[in-house]
Amino acid sequence: MVRILWLWAVALVMVGCSAGRPTIGDVALVGTDYPVAGEWPSRVELAANVDNAGGRVKLLRGRLRVSYDGRRVVVLTLERKVVIRGRESGQVVLPLRVSVARSSQSLALREALREGELERVGVDWQVAVRRGVAYAELEQPMRPLGEVLDAAQREQLIEILRSINE
C-alpha cells in the first residue's frame, strides 16, 4: 500500500514542478490513522524532500485508484490543497484519505503488496495543478504497477510497508 502512496507522491510533485525538473529525495511515511486494528489506514501522510527549481505550484486535487485483477480496490484522495514553493528546497507533506472496498480483493491486494507480486496490481491517477494563472488537469490511464516502479523504488517501499504492518 505504501508503495502505491510513494508512487503517487512522486507523481504529484513531479507533475506540479515538471518545468523546473525538481529532484525528489527521501520519501517517508510521517503519519497514519488506523480506525480499527488490522485494517487499512483511513488517512496517511507522506513527506518528500523536494528541490524545486521552477515556480510555485499548487496541487488542487488528486486521486489515485488501485486495482487488483481489474477491480478497483483502493482510492487515495488528496485531502487538501498542497503548495510546493518555487526556487527552493524543502519538505512537502501530502495528506491522503484512503477508501477501501470491503471485499476479498482488498485482502488479495494487501497480500500481493506485502509479497512484492505486482503483476496483477494496476494504478491510474488524476491530478489538478495550478501554476500562476495556468491550470491543468492531468491523468494517467490504468497501468500495471510493476511497469511504473523501478527496482530501487520497490526496495525502498517494501521497507516502508513492513514498518506499517508491524
Q: Cα–Cα distance between 107 and 124 in angstroms, integer?
A: 20
Q: Say how many C-beta atoms besides its own lie within 10 A of residue 42's C-beta.
A: 14
pLDDT confidence of residue 165? 46
Q: Cα–Cα distance between 11 and 62 in angstroms, integer?
A: 10
pLDDT confidence of residue 79? 93
pLDDT confidence of residue 155? 65
pLDDT confidence of residue 21? 45
Q: Cα–Cα distance between 30 and 124 in angstroms, integer?
A: 24
At residue 10, the 3 state secondary structure works out as helix
Contacts of residue 63, defined as CB under 8 A and 6 or more positions apart, other chains included, come to 75, 76, 77, 78, 125, 126, 127
Q: Cα–Cα distance between 116 and 134 in angstroms, integer?
A: 39
| Total structural domains within the chain | 1
Determine the angle formed by the axes of helices 2-16 and 151-165, rounding to 10 degrees. 130
Domain span at residue 151? 2-165
What are the grid coordinates assigned to 62, written together? 488528486
- First-residue to last-residue Cα distance in the chain: 14
pLDDT confidence of residue 80? 93
pLDDT in tens, the chain (166 residues): 555 565 666 666 555 544 444 455 666 677 777 776 567 778 888 887 777 777 788 889 989 888 889 898 888 899 999 888 877 677 888 888 888 888 888 888 888 877 777 788 888 888 888 888 888 888 888 888 777 777 776 666 555 555 544 4
